[in-house]
């Protein structure tokens, strides 16, 4: 099985590989599957949330690529399997360049294997909480021209930075390195409006705290919206995942009540 080494049983769980499991991927280890199954037992909708988030990523990336942006910096990318950023953008602009960034060394290693032979796309290991480790990385500097517009993708990653000040500062530093005409694509977990048991939510957060190095925190619409201050929000603004420019073929699991998708999202252009 791709992504599963002989010593996989010794690998601790990570957010990237738990997400891969929820999406039906094979790039995960026993600890990831156990953690994912524990969360799904408490919240059966979580795999549906993962698919809704993935669908938003595809729509948002396609929109930005159609605006002529040809550089994408995907922070907290996980493993770039089927339908990921480089596949979407290369359908529109074959010469577009993509850098995937993740803190998980296994995710980066798997990514590099998948991307082998693609000179316009690579993956690096770096920590979102240290933006300079991303911005100054030689591979980033080789592929991304920061004098030209860049799409910064922060999709389902900032909820793994529990400290509000660190999350805001890190995002600000990354945006500060981008020129006018760049874009921010962001999604974030939120329980605002959801009908869930708060004790179970605490238990789910406990799984991440106990089994991974990336515990998560949920934030409100106001907190997520604040990250777009000073940017030009693309319509329809900050909305639930299924509400951002839905397209034919998208998952319809939360069509009746988008707030139950558990994720807020938005796309904005840097003035």
pLDDT over 80 (residue 93)? yes
* Position 6 pLDDT exceeds 60: no
Question: Is residue 142 pLDDT above 50, yes or no?
Answer: yes
Q: How many Cα atoms occupy the beta-carbon half-sphere of 132 within 13 Å?
A: 0
30 contact partners, CB below 8 Å, separation of at least 6? 8, 9, 11
Is the per-residue pLDDT at 73 higher than 70? yes
**Closest residue by Cα to residue 1 from 22, 28, 19:** 28
Query: What is the pLDDT at residue 205?
Result: 45
- Is the pLDDT at 9 greater than 50? The verdict is no
Mean pLDDT in the chain? 84
pLDDT digits (tens, 9 = 90+) for 184-197: 999 998 878 666 55
pLDDT tens readout for residues 208-255: 444 445 567 889 999 999 999 999 999 999 999 999 999 998 988 888
Q: What percentage of the chain has pLDDT greater than the value 90?
A: 58
pLDDT computed for residue 201 by the predictor:
47
Mean pLDDT of 78-101: 90
- Separation CA 22–CA 38 (nearest Å): 12
Please state the rounded mean pLDDT for residues 152-168: 95
Side-chain-side CA neighbours of residue 169 (13 Å)? 9
């Amino acid at each position: 099985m791709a992504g599963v080494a002989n010593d996989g049983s010794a690998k601790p769980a990570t957010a990237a590989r738990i997400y891969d499991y929820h999406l039906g991927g094979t790039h995960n280890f026993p600890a990831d599957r156990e953690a994912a199954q524990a969360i799904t037992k408490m919240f059966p909708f979580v795999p549906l949330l993962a698919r809704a988030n993935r669908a938003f990523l595809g729509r948002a990336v396609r929109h930005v690529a159609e605006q002529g942006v040809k550089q994408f910096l995907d922070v907290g990318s996980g493993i770039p399997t089927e339908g990921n950023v480089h596949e979407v953008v290369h359908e529109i602009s074959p010469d577009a360049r993509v850098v995937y960034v993740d803190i998980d060394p296994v995710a980066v290693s798997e990514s590099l294997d998948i991307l082998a032979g693609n000179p316009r796309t690579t993956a690096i290991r770096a920590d979102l909480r240290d933006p300079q480790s991303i911005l100054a990385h030689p591979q980033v500097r080789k592929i991304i021209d920061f004098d030209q517009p860049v799409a910064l993708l922060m999709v389902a990653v900032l909820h793994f930075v529990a400290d509000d000040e660190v999350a805001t500062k890190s995002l600000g530093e990354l945006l500060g390195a981008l020129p006018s005409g760049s874009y921010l694509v962001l999604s974030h977990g939120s329980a605002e409006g959801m009908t869930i048991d708060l004790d179970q939510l605490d238990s789910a957060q406990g799984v991440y705290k106990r089994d991974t190095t990336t515990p998560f925190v949920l934030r409100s619409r106001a907190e997520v919206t604040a990250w777009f201050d000073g940017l030009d929000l693309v319509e329809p603004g900050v909305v639930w995942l299924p509400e951002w420019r839905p397209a034919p073929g998208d998952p319809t699991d939360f069509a009746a009540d988008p707030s139950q998708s558990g994720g807020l999202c938005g796309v904005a252009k840097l003035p």
